[in-house]
Amino acid sequence: MTAKIDLAGLELHELEQELVRLGHPKFHGRQIFQWIHKRGITDLALMTDLGREVRQQLSSEVEIHTPQVEGKERSIDGTTKLLLRLSDGKQIESVFIPDTPSQTFCISTQVGCAMKCAFCLTGRMGIDRNLTASEIAGQVRVLARELQMLDVRFNIVLMGMGEPLHNYEATMKALRILNDEHGLAISARRITLSTVGVLPALERLATEPVMPNLAISLHSTTEDQRDMLVPLNRKYGLKDLLDACRRFPVKRRERITFEYVMLNEVNDTPEDARRLVRLLHGIRGKVNLLPLNEAAGIPFDRPSDARVNQFARILADHGVTVSVRKSRGRDIRAACGQLITESKKTQAPGRRLASLMEQGA
């Protein structure tokens, strides 16, 4: 049997073409697109500006997939984490972060992650599969519906499970769907894509008509150290990544964000801070320091506030714009690097870099 087309994964022009192919007027495509992506309605029976016969016919011809909420946890700080089940039974997590200062949805692009960053629980899952454009955009619809925010402005960060540029086509298609004026009409200025540096895809991103804000997961100031913390660095090195950032078209009054997870006595020294200043010279960027969110299975410690402040002060004194991200949702394991849908709590936090090197990581 031929699989039914999932209308939720089609851009407006594709949806219109599919309706015409099925023998329906083109304008029904726009109506359905608005129902799905603007109003959050995915039941054809409720799309009341379509005739009853049209709805009945379409129900046998197409599908509209939406991630289903399997669990919801709320942190003491208001952060909400949703466990979502996909149509094939796979699970992902998405997070709502209030008061940031804007409302922010953190969404996933893969089931698991192939990047294997040493400080990230999601990387310990490995990669199961890529999400479809329908599943990526669907998380936003589900969060907006569950939180009654379909008519509220919010930001989106592609910082959940997975590496967005490792699933390039589906990620960019989802962003075009979310950006469409007939749907949620989310401006590219309100979307941030975080990547560890998949260079060929980063070069493509620079040419996209819907270009999100760019955040680079840097985390290190030397090639050897980054090779171990971010294994992809062995393929696309630190120097090549920063050269690509220098070429990246940054809009006026905007900057590339460099994310830097701080690991106690690993990458948080004054020497690291001074090297970081030199590395970022000539790049329109800013640094976002993220003190490690400790968890069982992550072999590092969170640095003290004094070490974080000292690092930040060195950057600021050298003219680098720097902020320290406040961890949100740590009590429900919803903070950066903590998203994981399969428990692998086999190690306690606190093991140092040397221990990891002994394992051949």
Length of the chain: 361
Kindly give the pairing relationship between strand 256-262 and strand 285-291: parallel
pLDDT digits (tens, 9 = 90+) for 157-216: 999 999 999 999 999 999 999 999 999 999 999 999 999 999 999 999 999 999 999 999
Helix (H, G, I), strand (E, B) or coil at 314: helix
Q: pLDDT (tens digit, 9 = 90+) per residue, 276-304?
A: 999 999 999 999 999 998 888 889 999 99
- Reported confidence tier of residue 333, pLDDT bands at 50, 70, 90: low
For residues 75-87, average pLDDT: 93
Lowest mean pLDDT among 75-84, 93-102, 161-170, 227-236: 93-102
Q: In whole angstroms, what separates CA 54 from the centre of its chain? A: 37
Q: What is the pTM of this model?
A: 0.89
Q: Does residue 39 or residue 124 have the better pLDDT?
A: 39
Reported as a single tens digit per residue, the pLDDT across 253-280 is 789 999 999 999 999 999 999 999 999 9
Partners of 106 in the β-ladder:
95, 157
Instruction: Indicate if the alpha-carbon torsion angle 120, 117, 312, 156 is positive or negative.
Output: negative
93, 135, 259, 294: which one is catalytic? 93
CATH of 68-358, one of 1.10.260.40, 3.40.50.300, 2.60.120.260, 3.20.20.70: 3.20.20.70
> Does the annotation count 106 as an active-site position?
no
Closest residue by Cα to residue 110 from 178, 175, 176, 159 = 159
Whether 267 contacts 219, CB under 8 Å: yes
Is 120 an annotated catalytic residue? no
Residue 41 pLDDT greater than 90, yes or no: yes
Indicate the fold that domain 5-63 takes in CATH.
DNA polymerase; domain 1 (1.10.150)
pLDDT at residue 3, rounded to an integer = 80
Q: Where are the domains of the chain?
A: 5-63, 68-358
Within 8 A by CB and 6+ apart from 88, the residues are none
Active-site residue among 113, 117, 245, 336?
336
Check residue 330 and give its pLDDT. Answer: 58
